[in-house]
Amino acid sequence: MTTTARINKTIKKTIKKATAIDKVKAIEAESAAHLFERDDMIHTLALAIIAKVNTLCLGVPGTAKTMTVRTVSESFCDAPGDFFDLLMAKTTKPDELFGPVDIKALTDNGEQRRNIDGYAPTAKVCVFDEMWKGSTAILNTLLTLSNERKFRNGSDGWVDCPLRFAVGMSNEFPEDPTMLAALFDRFPIKLMVPPIQDDNNFKAMISNGMPGVTTKLDDSDLEELDALVKACDVPAHILDSIVGIRADLAAKGVEISDRRWFQAVKVMKAAAVYAGRDKVADADLSVLEWIAWNKDGEQAIIKSILPIYAAPIEREVRALLEEVYEERAKVLKAWNEDGADSSRPTCDAAAAASAGIHAFATVNSVNDAIMALVTEADGDAAARVDEAIDEVTEIGARIRAVSLGTRDAAAKAKAVAALKATE
């Protein structure tokens, strides 16, 4: 053996085999390099591969939704029937989705079954374009196939389906609210896919070809992903956060089914596995932005709730601010305890003095605690810490003006009004 051959053999032995997660990240990077402004969609599909959950893409036709799914799916769809896609319509027949009736079996033996090879029941990835334009009967069958990964094939009974994930597509919401709820439960990830916005990206899109994905996932990789998700732990504090988010959403009129919460946890586990962790972290709650809403307009609600739970620093800042808010309320009550207009504040001198002293101590303590977060925070969290410092400083100054300021009634009334204005 030559020296070069020995070196090459040694290198092969020492090079670490790429893990399934490494491959998923490579697939994501290769796809994003050529599919412009589709990073969110590609990432959700990466999570769909890991967690075996379905995705719903909403947007006008012609935004490369199917191309994006096909590109990502090339990584593990090798056989001709592994990828199945169909444009749905009210006239779509079961044969088009599930395969034609096996005439020979029917005529020879009276057995009712379909030839399902090459159709949805045998595909690893299914794309249903204009999904809810199909008939109710077809959609109900699709829901079972998509969620349970099973298909009832006549006299053959229930058949296990190799489906990794399905993607539904549409440019509108279904009119039937019952069907909408059923679809959202089984297609938990929902993503709005707009046309390309940046002119340079648009030029690159119309002038470049799509070379495809070279990284491949084999069956052992998919099994590895399944094992990682199954082993991923959900700590008690994450479960508490989910309960809190659920309650906050319900208080704002957004009801999410138990089935979808179950699916959401699978996506959180996938996000943790993707990040190289064996347990779900606060940051993984952010996937709820794609899951915890039912209709257009509700996305803003979950986005407003998530920072409290998904960002530990935000949660700590909020808790500290609540302490200041509570002291502010006590000071206002002491100076206007009879509920009269604050333009003529009344005062229990002892209560006002006690409230003022306690408020000073709390404001100083909270300010020190928030200042300590400055070195830990970055990006959006750093901006939130700066906002909190400014807010605590302002409230503290207003409390001081009320408690230690002039004894003049008019000036005092103005100070009380200024403190109340910070609410």
The answer to whether residue 7 sits within a structural domain is: no
206 and 238 assigned to the same domain:
no
* Average pLDDT value for residue range 317-345: 72
Give the pLDDT of residue 13: 37
* Average pLDDT value for residue range 290-316: 86
3-state secondary structure of 253: coil
The answer to whether residue 390 sits within a structural domain is: yes
Give the pLDDT of residue 10: 37
- The top-scoring range by mean pLDDT among 255-269, 305-319, 397-411 is 255-269
**Which helix (DSSP H) or strand (DSSP E) does residue 160 occupy?**
strand 158-160
The answer to whether residue 48 sits within a structural domain is: yes
pLDDT band at 379 (very low <50, low <70, confident <90, very high): low
The answer to whether residue 15 sits within a structural domain is: no
52 and 184 assigned to the same domain:
yes
Last residue of a domain, one of 275, 309, 343: 309
- The residue segments making up the domain with residue 396 are 311-420
Token couple for 37: 């402004």
183 and 297 assigned to the same domain:
no
Last residue of a domain, one of 199, 230, 261: 230
Residue 40: CATH number of its domain: 3.40.50.300
3-state secondary structure of 28: helix
* 371/383 Cα distance (integer angstroms): 12
The answer to whether residue 14 sits within a structural domain is: no
* Average pLDDT value for residue range 208-216: 78
* 31 or 402, greater pLDDT: 31
The Cα-based distances of 298 to 167, 302, 303 in angstroms read 22, 7, 9
195 and 272 assigned to the same domain:
no
pLDDT tens across 97-106, in order?
A: 999 988 888 8
71 and 143 assigned to the same domain:
yes
Give the pLDDT of residue 16: 43
3-state secondary structure of 352: helix
* 339 or 132, greater pLDDT: 132
290 and 384 assigned to the same domain:
no
pTM of the model: 0.71
* 141/329 Cα distance (integer angstroms): 57
* 151/140 Cα distance (integer angstroms): 11
Domain count, the chain: 3
pLDDT band at 421 (very low <50, low <70, confident <90, very high): confident
- Sequence-ordered alpha helix ranges (H) in 292-338: 299-310, 312-335
157 and 94 assigned to the same domain:
yes
> Do the Cβ atoms of 213 and 312 come closer than 8 Å?
no
pLDDT higher than 90, residue 353: no
Q: Choose among 290, 249, 286: nearest CA to 381.
A: 286
Residue 287: CATH number of its domain: 1.10.8.80
The answer to whether residue 10 sits within a structural domain is: no
* 332 or 84, greater pLDDT: 84
3-state secondary structure of 193: coil
* 406/136 Cα distance (integer angstroms): 73
Cβ contacts of residue 141 below 8 Å, gap of 6+?
Answer: 94, 97, 98, 151
Give the pLDDT of residue 117: 93
pLDDT band at 405 (very low <50, low <70, confident <90, very high): low
Token couple for 10: 């040694």
Last residue of a domain, one of 175, 203, 230: 230
Beta-bridge partner residues of 114: 101
* 307/283 Cα distance (integer angstroms): 9
135 and 112 assigned to the same domain:
yes
103 and 185 assigned to the same domain:
yes
Q: How large is the angle between the packed helices 177-186 and 136-148, nearest 10 degrees?
A: 20
167 and 216 assigned to the same domain:
yes
Cβ-based neighbour number of residue 214 at 10 Å: 10
* 218/77 Cα distance (integer angstroms): 9
Q: Choose among 394, 147, 396: nearest CA to 260.
A: 147
The Cα-based distances of 158 to 27, 101, 323, 358 in angstroms read 33, 16, 58, 69
Q: Which of 62-71, 235-244, 357-366, 374-383 has the lowest mean pLDDT?
A: 374-383
DSSP secondary structure letters along 371-386: HHTTTT--THHHHHHH
* 284/306 Cα distance (integer angstroms): 10
Pairing mode, strands 158-160 and 150-152: antiparallel
**Which helix (DSSP H) or strand (DSSP E) does residue 125 occupy?**
strand 125-129
253 and 340 assigned to the same domain:
no
Give the pLDDT of residue 99: 92
The answer to whether residue 12 sits within a structural domain is: no
The answer to whether residue 11 sits within a structural domain is: no
91 and 200 assigned to the same domain:
yes
pLDDT tens across 52-98, in order?
A: 999 999 888 888 888 888 889 888 887 888 999 999 988 999 899 99
pLDDT tens across 218-252, in order?
A: 999 999 999 999 999 999 989 999 999 999 999 99
